[in-house]
Protein backbone atom coordinates (compact mmCIF):
# COMPACT_ATOMS: atom_id res chain seq x y z
CA UNK A 1 0.00 0.00 0.00
CA UNK A 2 1.14 3.54 -0.70
CA UNK A 3 -0.03 6.88 0.62
CA UNK A 4 1.22 10.38 -0.02
CA UNK A 5 1.92 13.59 1.79
CA UNK A 6 3.71 16.73 0.74
CA UNK A 7 5.94 19.35 2.16
CA UNK A 8 6.48 22.19 -0.25
CA UNK A 9 8.02 20.60 -3.31
CA UNK A 10 8.86 17.39 -1.50
CA UNK A 11 6.60 14.44 -2.16
CA UNK A 12 6.33 12.17 0.86
CA UNK A 13 5.59 8.57 -0.16
CA UNK A 14 4.70 6.15 2.62
CA UNK A 15 5.03 2.54 1.54
CA UNK A 16 3.54 -0.24 3.64
CA UNK A 17 4.00 -3.97 3.08
CA UNK A 18 6.21 -5.75 0.58
CA UNK A 19 8.11 -4.28 -2.35
CA UNK A 20 8.50 -6.90 -5.06
CA UNK A 21 8.04 -7.00 -8.83
CA UNK A 22 4.24 -7.08 -8.45
CA UNK A 23 3.94 -4.12 -6.08
CA UNK A 24 6.93 -2.10 -7.39
CA UNK A 25 5.14 -1.61 -10.71
CA UNK A 26 2.09 -0.24 -8.90
CA UNK A 27 4.17 2.03 -6.64
CA UNK A 28 6.07 3.38 -9.62
CA UNK A 29 2.86 4.33 -11.43
CA UNK A 30 1.26 6.06 -8.47
CA UNK A 31 4.45 7.91 -7.45
CA UNK A 32 4.95 9.18 -11.00
CA UNK A 33 1.37 10.45 -11.07
CA UNK A 34 1.56 12.20 -7.69
CA UNK A 35 5.03 13.63 -8.40
CA UNK A 36 3.71 15.28 -11.55
CA UNK A 37 0.44 16.35 -9.99
CA UNK A 38 2.03 18.35 -7.18
CA UNK A 39 4.95 19.50 -9.32
CA UNK A 40 7.40 17.98 -6.84
CA UNK A 41 11.17 18.13 -6.85
CA UNK A 42 12.25 15.86 -3.99
CA UNK A 43 10.89 12.51 -2.95
CA UNK A 44 10.89 11.45 0.71
CA UNK A 45 10.22 7.75 1.24
CA UNK A 46 8.75 6.58 4.54
CA UNK A 47 9.95 2.97 4.78
CA UNK A 48 8.74 2.41 8.34
CA UNK A 49 6.05 -0.01 7.19
CA UNK A 50 8.11 -1.88 4.59
CA UNK A 51 8.35 -5.55 5.57
CA UNK A 52 10.19 -6.91 2.54
CA UNK A 53 12.14 -5.67 -0.47
CA UNK A 54 13.93 -7.48 -3.28
CA UNK A 55 15.81 -6.25 -6.36
CA UNK A 56 12.60 -5.01 -7.96
CA UNK A 57 12.64 -2.33 -5.26
CA UNK A 58 16.16 -1.32 -6.27
CA UNK A 59 15.03 -0.73 -9.84
CA UNK A 60 11.96 1.21 -8.70
CA UNK A 61 14.02 3.45 -6.39
CA UNK A 62 16.76 4.11 -8.95
CA UNK A 63 14.03 5.06 -11.42
CA UNK A 64 12.58 7.59 -8.96
CA UNK A 65 16.09 8.90 -8.18
CA UNK A 66 16.73 9.55 -11.88
CA UNK A 67 13.44 11.35 -12.15
CA UNK A 68 14.12 13.55 -9.11
CA UNK A 69 17.61 14.42 -10.38
CA UNK A 70 16.11 15.37 -13.74
CA UNK A 71 13.94 17.90 -11.88
CA UNK A 72 16.81 19.16 -9.75
CA UNK A 73 15.73 17.30 -6.62
CA UNK A 74 16.97 14.57 -4.28
CA UNK A 75 15.59 11.37 -2.81
CA UNK A 76 15.46 10.67 0.92
CA UNK A 77 14.36 7.66 2.94
CA UNK A 78 13.66 7.06 6.58
CA UNK A 79 12.53 4.10 8.63
CA UNK A 80 14.73 1.72 6.59
CA UNK A 81 15.00 -1.60 8.43
CA UNK A 82 18.27 -3.47 8.86
CA UNK A 83 17.19 -6.09 6.33
CA UNK A 84 16.14 -3.60 3.69
CA UNK A 85 19.30 -1.58 4.30
CA UNK A 86 21.34 -4.64 3.28
CA UNK A 87 19.70 -4.50 -0.16
CA UNK A 88 20.40 -0.75 -0.30
CA UNK A 89 24.07 -1.35 0.45
CA UNK A 90 24.48 -4.21 -1.98
CA UNK A 91 23.21 -2.09 -4.84
CA UNK A 92 24.84 1.21 -3.83
CA UNK A 93 21.42 2.80 -3.25
CA UNK A 94 22.66 4.14 0.09
CA UNK A 95 25.10 6.34 -1.85
CA UNK A 96 22.45 8.12 -3.91
CA UNK A 97 19.51 8.10 -1.51
CA UNK A 98 19.95 10.06 1.69
CA UNK A 99 18.96 7.91 4.63
CA UNK A 100 17.73 9.34 7.91
CA UNK A 101 16.73 7.84 11.22
CA UNK A 102 14.46 10.78 11.92
CA UNK A 103 10.84 11.22 11.04
CA UNK A 104 11.12 14.18 8.66
CA UNK A 105 7.40 14.83 8.43
CA UNK A 106 7.11 15.40 12.18
CA UNK A 107 10.29 17.37 12.19
CA UNK A 108 9.08 19.63 9.41
CA UNK A 109 5.74 20.13 11.13
CA UNK A 110 7.58 21.41 14.18
CA UNK A 111 9.25 23.92 11.89
CA UNK A 112 12.61 22.28 12.39
CA UNK A 113 14.99 21.35 9.67
CA UNK A 114 15.47 17.75 8.67
CA UNK A 115 18.89 16.43 9.47
CA UNK A 116 19.75 13.61 7.11
CA UNK A 117 22.39 11.21 8.19
CA UNK A 118 24.46 8.47 6.38
Partner 1 sequence: MGEITENKVENRVRIEMDAKSRNESFARLAVAAFVSELDPLVSDVIDIKTAVSEAVTNAIIHGYEDSPGTVYIDLKLTDGVITVTIKDDGVGIDDISRAMEPLYTSKPEEERSGMGFTVMEAFMDSIIVRSEKGRGTEVIMTKKLSDV
User: Which chain residues interact with ligand ATP by CB under 6 A?
Assistant: 55-56, 58-59
Cβ-based nearer residue to partner 1, 21 or 118: 21
Cβ-based nearer residue to ligand ATP, 74 or 91: 91
Query: Could you say whether residue 52 binds partner 1 (CB under 8 A)?
Result: yes
Residues 6+ apart with CB under 8 A from 61: 45, 75, 93, 97
For the CB of residue 54, give the shortest distance to ligand ATP in the complex, in Å.
8
Report the first-to-last Cα separation within the chain, whole angstroms.
Answer: 27
User: For residues 39 and 69, is the Cβ–Cβ distance under 8 A?
Assistant: no
Helix (H) or strand (E) holding 55: helix 55-70
Cβ-based nearer residue to partner 1, 49 or 59: 59
Report the 10 Å Cβ neighbour count for 45: 24
Cβ-based nearer residue to ligand ATP, 62 or 108: 62
* Residue 63 contacts which entry, partner 1, ligand ATP, none (Cβ below 5-8 A, type-dependent): partner 1
Residues 75-94 that bind partner 1 (CB under 8 A): 83, 87, 90-91
Residues 98-117 that bind partner 1 (CB under 8 A): none
Q: Nearest-CA neighbor of 11 among 74, 63, 88?
A: 74
Amino acid sequence: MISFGRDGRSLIARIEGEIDHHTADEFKTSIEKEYGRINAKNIIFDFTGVTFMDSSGIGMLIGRYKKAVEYGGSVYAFGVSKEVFRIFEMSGLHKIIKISDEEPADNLKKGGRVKWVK
